[in-house]
A and B are shown apart, each in its own frame.
Chain A
């Protein structure tokens, strides 16, 4: 199952390490990653694959939410299908 993880918040050390560590622990594989700093805000977008042995989606979601609160950034995970629907018209697959 493909999903997008978005991390938004004030820039500080170790955000990528902590988020990617948490994903690794939950058996979520990072396939692509991009990050920018807009003004002083850190924005990271990760394209991930939720692997077979991963916990249920709502558990991953609440774990990430908890981590976000701990390190002071907003972390969201959403199925990739919502972005496919809104931003992609492609003849090569059904949306």
Chain B
């Protein structure tokens, strides 16, 4: 029998501190759906996804009801569609099918309209990438990601250049909704194959036929635990570790239970602190609780490094398989503390870039003025990708050049995506660099300084 205080601790984490499991993401391999006919491929994809994921939402809701912890999203991640459609060239049929599956299963997001072009693009992959704006602007729940670099291959700057244009096209096609298509598109370095988080989830080629990956959350729980700490930073790290352990145990339980009930394998738990725009569910507020007046202040990178490391150390023992993006997320529009700091001019794009060197994942959900050139966006992507490539970590860019809006205005996306103040960006021209194209060679992996 547990003590009253232990039972109440768990109940309070849910009712007052926003503890939740952010997502159960069911990865489904589509390799066995490949044919040379667009229609037949789409049919096979529909049948397989409905068979594997038809019960996903009900299963998630059942588990949530039984353990008394909300499971906010149920999602599907598939094999990168560019691989599945390479033979039939039927990506437009597939996007319609995925949209139908997302609708009929009642899931929240479906990821995997993706391509892996970290070294080079085939002619078909280029055609596929150019279809992303239409795919994201004609659907609501489909997400896309493109891996443009790895630490072993270097950076494919032709792809980076193209992504600047694609981001701008996405912004234009959804100009009536604050360019929301850009919120469903991630550009990666060192993309992982088992990520449960959107918009970057896809199921890699080394994965099982169907697998459950779970992303946990709980910045509010960490913040409240830290409110009791009066000691030094060693104690701060210790409390974060212990809290992360408990949060991750919830994720582990849900992952095992969901895999069992769906009859699929259990993949990983992603040790993540993912904020939501709700007050009391902010990563920025944790850094402020540690002792900063505002996120963005000097000291932000150091406190974030401490937080990120302690979350991993606590979580790693709580779960038997850890993977995905694992770390503290800093999406500006999805975090009440980040939004406030950006609005007050205390959090700059440059500081955010520095922060991404010590946490997960990258320049995430950042709104910039709509008239920024595609070349500047490509160069912004290149900078962030270089941080990931050189430091052998995953980094990503999800940036929204909000069509028709200027610095100081606000873009509103709604739901978990939140709202973002439009941030200033350095307008100095990087076009010559971007237009050179080619590849930035892979970095040296020794003599690190």
A29 close to B (CB within 8 Å): no
Inside 8 A of A51's CB, which chain B residues have their CB? none
Most buried by B among A43, A81, A87, A95: A87
B67 close to A (CB within 8 Å): yes
State the Cβ distance, A3 to closest chain B Cβ, in Å.
Answer: 8
A69 close to B (CB within 8 Å): no
Cβ contact within 8 Å between B10 and A83: yes
Q: Which secondary structure dominates where chain B touches chain A?
A: helix
Q: Which secondary structure dominates where chain A touches chain B?
A: strand
Give which listed residue, B1, B65, B246, contacts A58 with CB less than 8 A: B65
Cβ contact within 8 Å between B66 and A87: no
Inside 8 A of A87's CB, which chain B residues have their CB? 2, 6, 9-10, 246
B68 close to A (CB within 8 Å): yes
A85 and B249 in contact (CB under 8 A), knowing A36-B4, A45-B2? Answer: yes
- A32 CA / B1 CA spacing, docked (Å): 7
Inside 8 A of B342's CB, which chain A residues have their CB? none
Tell me the residues in window 243-277 of chain B with beta carbons closer than 8 Å to chain A beta carbons.
246, 249-250, 252-253, 257
Cβ contact within 8 Å between B67 and A34: no
Inside 8 A of B7's CB, which chain A residues have their CB? 4, 6, 45, 83
Inside 8 A of A58's CB, which chain B residues have their CB? 62, 65
Most buried by B among A32, A47, A79: A79
State the Cβ distance, B394 to closest chain A Cβ, in Å.
Answer: 28
A47 and B1 in contact (CB under 8 A), knowing A81-B253, A82-B67, A86-B246? Answer: yes
Name 11 extra pairs, CB < 8 A, besides A76-B11, A83-B10: A4-B2, A6-B7, A8-B11, A43-B4, A57-B66, A81-B67, A81-B253, A82-B69, A83-B7, A86-B249, A86-B250
Where the two chains meet, the residues of A that have a C-beta atom closer than 8 Å to any C-beta of B are 4, 6, 8, 32, 34, 36, 43, 45, 47, 57-58, 61, 76-79, 81-83, 85-88, 95
Q: 30 interchain pairs (CB within 8 A)?
A: A4-B7, A6-B7, A6-B11, A8-B11, A32-B1, A34-B4, A43-B4, A43-B8, A45-B1, A47-B1, A58-B65, A77-B68, A78-B10, A78-B66, A78-B67, A81-B253, A81-B257, A82-B67, A82-B69, A82-B253, A83-B6, A83-B7, A83-B10, A85-B252, A86-B6, A86-B9, A86-B249, A87-B2, A87-B246, A95-B249
